[in-house]
Structure formats: structure tokens, C-alpha cells
């Protein structure tokens, strides 16, 4: 269960998924302060995708999608000039209810969204095999992009994050009701891109 209030880091092109790692370079002063405060506390940061049109108010508080994913800072390197390199591990989805304007960075009042656990569920494993076959059949290099030993839910979330879908497609994948629906949505997206002749969806 996540805290009721967490800092959020809104970006226009990054979506975090549960149990997936995300490297980030933090250079803006307000978000340096956010990371410094997080490191002194519970090390939790929420990732939220900026809505289209954010460019006109980036320095302020442009709207974000209400569904995001919180992550735990598992590694942090502070540079001499105050910038950070950090690694987040996705924890849990959240719904953003409103914001607390008391800090220079963005604080959000949130509600946790617990996805149903499908560990060992036969239907999910079958859909994973379908997804693996699709990648091997129409992918660029004919090689799996994640280890075959990875648990089903982690495998599907990793593909949703690392395949070269556009940010709005990734946001839609995050908003699915759970891993099984997410897997089927990834399959649908890959099939549509294959039909359209795109071969750039394997992340490099």
C-alpha cells in the first residue's frame, strides 16, 4: 500500500509499470529537491504522464493523466553539481486525486490501485506464450527481448514499458485492469503494427 501523499515526477514520454526498473537523470532544481527529500524519507516517487499540450505550461503544473505508477528509488548517485542519476523500481499503480501546492515540486494525494495477482494462472501463461511467439515471428532480430525465466506478470509489464510504443499507447496499457488485459492489449498493438509494416517496435 502506498502513502496517501507522494511526490510525482511528470514527464511527456515516460510511463512506469509495476516491477519494472527505470533509470532517470534528474537535473531540474525542483526535481533535485524532490529526489533529495525522497531519499531522506520513504524513497517513493510517482511517475505520471503529461497530457498533450503540456508544452505551454511546463514550468508550472500542466495536467497529467490521473493514473500513474509509483516507484522505489533503489539506486541514487548524486553528482557534484546537484544532479542525480537514479533507478526506480515500479511498485504499484495509483489514482491521482488532487495536488498539494506546498512544495516547489509536485505532491499528489493519491489512492493505490492494486492489480489482481495472476501468478501461475494458466490463461495468463497461455497469453504470454502467444506474445512470445508473436515477437519471435515478426520481430526484427528473432531473439527474445526478456529472459524466459522471468515471471509472467513481470515479463508482460517489462514489454509494455520497453517496447517502442508511443507514450499514449503505454499510458493506455498502464490503465488496463490487470496483467491479463495488458498482455492482450500488447498483442493487439503488435499485431496492428505488424500489419501496418512497422518493424521499429523492438526497443534497442
Looking at the structure, do residues 103 and 9 belong to the same domain, yes or no? yes
pLDDT recorded at residue 60: 78
CATH number of the domain bearing residue 188: 1.20.58
Residue 204 belongs to some domain of the structure: no
Residue 202 forms part of a structural domain: no
Mean local confidence (pLDDT), 168-173: 98
Q: Is the pLDDT of residue 27 over 80?
A: yes
One domain for residues 91 and 167: no
- Residue 204: pLDDT band (50, 70, 90) is very low
Q: How many domains does the chain have?
A: 2
109-131: per-residue pLDDT in tens? 999 999 987 776 789 999 999 99
CATH number at residue 46: 2.30.130.40
Question: CB neighbours of 187 closer than 8 A, spacing ≥ 6?
Answer: 127, 130, 131, 134
Q: Are residues 10 and 108 in the same domain?
A: yes
Question: What are the distances in angstroms from CA 92 to CA 19, 123, 167?
Answer: 8, 22, 19
What's the domain range around 26?
5-113
Confidence of residue 148 (pLDDT cuts 50, 70, 90): low
Average pLDDT, the chain: 89
% the chain with pLDDT above 90: 72
| Assigned domain for 200 exists | no
Amino acid at each position: 500500500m502506498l502513502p496517501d501523499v507522494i511526490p510525482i515526477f511528470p514527464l511527456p514520454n515516460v510511463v512506469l509499470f509495476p516491477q519494472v526498473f527505470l533509470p532517470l537523470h534528474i537535473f531540474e532544481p525542483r526535481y533535485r529537491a524532490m529526489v533529495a527529500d525522497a531519499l531522506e524519507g520513504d524513497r517513493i516517487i510517482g511517475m505520471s504522464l503529461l497530457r498533450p499540450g503540456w508544452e505551454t505550461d511546463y514550468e508550472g503544473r500542466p495536467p497529467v493523466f490521473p493514473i500513474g505508477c509509483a516507484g522505489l528509488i533503489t539506486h541514487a548517485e548524486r553528482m557534484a553539481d546537484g544532479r542525480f542519476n537514479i533507478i526506480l523500481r515500479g511498485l504499484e499503480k495509483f489514482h491521482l486525486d488532487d495536488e498539494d501546492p506546498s512544495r516547489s515540486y509536485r505532491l499528489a494525494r493519491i489512492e493505490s490501485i492494486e492489480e489482481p495477482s495472476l501468478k501461475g494462472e494458466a490463461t495468463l501463461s497461455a497469453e504470454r506464450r502467444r506474445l512470445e511467439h508473436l515477437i519471435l515471428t515478426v520481430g526484427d532480430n528473432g531473439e527474445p527481448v526478456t529472459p524466459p525465466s522471468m515471471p509472467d506478470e513481470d515479463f508482460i509489464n517489462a514489454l509494455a514499458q520497453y517496447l517502442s510504443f508511443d507514450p499514449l499507447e503505454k499510458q493506455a496499457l498502464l490503465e488496463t485492469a490487470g496483467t491479463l488485459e495488458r498482455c492482450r492489449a500488447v498483442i493487439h498493438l503488435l499485431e496492428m503494427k505488424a500489419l501496418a509494416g512497422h518493424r521499429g517496435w523492438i526497443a534497442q
